[in-house]
Amino acid sequence: MKQLSILVPVLLISVFFASSALAAGLSFTPSSGTYNKGQTYSVSIYVNPASDSIYTVKAEVKYPADLLEVKSFSLASGWTALSQPGYDEINNNSGILIKTGGYAGGLENNALFGTITFYAKDSGSASVSIGNGSQVLDDNSKNVLTSRPSVLFTLSDEIEPATPTPAVQSQPQTAPAPVGGGDSSVAFVEPAPINLTAMALGLAWAGYLNSPSLILLTILAVLVLAAVVKKEQFFAAIKKLKKSFKKNK
């Protein structure tokens, strides 16, 4: 009986530690940290399947809404998001994040589930925890989650300084060095005189070429002049014929 009374507690303790070692759980990385007010930082969620093959994870994360704000959440590679009411939510008023994803073929090793980006709204101690609504489901859709840790972050009152923008400095304008070395005076070259007559004729000719009516009148005048010249030549020829006719007579 003595041996039996000793063996039973040992077996119970062994079963307890074995079940604890094989329990599936969710965890945060980093598990602590100090950040400044106004700073953003990332917290990763990991899944530990233990001895079970995990097919679906629903992570419910709780955080103080007066100190922290969730800026974004990115699901890790290999997971398929389940976007349905009650399974996909970010509520910065109540301080709760819910994200759900499925893993095709089952997950058997410790792996990244997703990453949260927090914004430090104010100073204080911010506790981030896995909520009771979280689930880690095996191939029989049984929730095997037993480990729900919490982490604590210290938010400093020091405001995160903005990155200064470097000012663009203008380069001073330097005068060109004088040619020739010694004398810095600039030689003055007198401009050539302007031929006003040539300028007037050029402007008149340009105006003439741009006026079709003037060109037409010029052509008509040339034709009339040619006709007059030919007429004079005709009359002169008639006179010569008359004179020669009188001489022959």
Give backbone dihedrals phi and psi of 28, rounded to 5 degrees, phi first. -110, 145
pLDDT tens, position by position, 95-117 = 999 999 999 999 999 999 999 99
Picking from 8-17, 40-49, 168-177, which range would have the lowest pLDDT averaged per residue?
A: 8-17
pLDDT by residue (tens digit) across 130-175? 999 999 999 999 999 998 889 999 999 877 565 656 655 555 565 5
Res. 14: pLDDT tops 90: no
* 23-159 CATH fold: Immunoglobulin-like (2.60.40)
Give the model's pLDDT for residue 190.
53
Backbone angles phi, psi at 173, to 5 degrees: -85, 120
- Map out the domains of the chain as residue ranges: 23-159, 200-248
Q: DSSP letter string over 178-197?
A: PTTSS--PPPPPPPPPP-HH
The rounded distance, in Å, linking the Cα atoms of 64 and 70 is 10
| 19 pLDDT above the threshold of 90 | no
* Under 8 Å between Cβ of 40 and 117: yes
Query: What pLDDT, on a 0 to 100 scale, did the predictor assign at position 226?
Result: 67
Which residue from 240, 55, 83 is spatially nearest to 140, judged by alpha carbons? 55
Query: How far apart (Å, rounded) are the C-alpha atoms in residues 31 and 52?
Result: 24
State the pLDDT at residue 160. Answer: 56
pLDDT at 66: 97
Task: Place 67 in a pLDDT band, splitting at 50, 70 and 90.
Answer: very high
Residues 145, 137: Cα–Cα separation, whole Å: 8
pLDDT by residue (tens digit) across 183-232?
Answer: 544 444 555 555 545 554 555 556 656 667 766 776 777 676 767 666 67
- Whether 40 has a pLDDT exceeding 50, the answer reads yes
Say if pTM beats, i.e. exceeds, 0.75: no
Dist. CA 85–CA 184, nearest whole Å = 84
Which long-range CB contacts under 8 A does 84-88 form with residues at least 24 apart? Answer: 87/58
Between 222 and 66, the higher pLDDT residue = 66
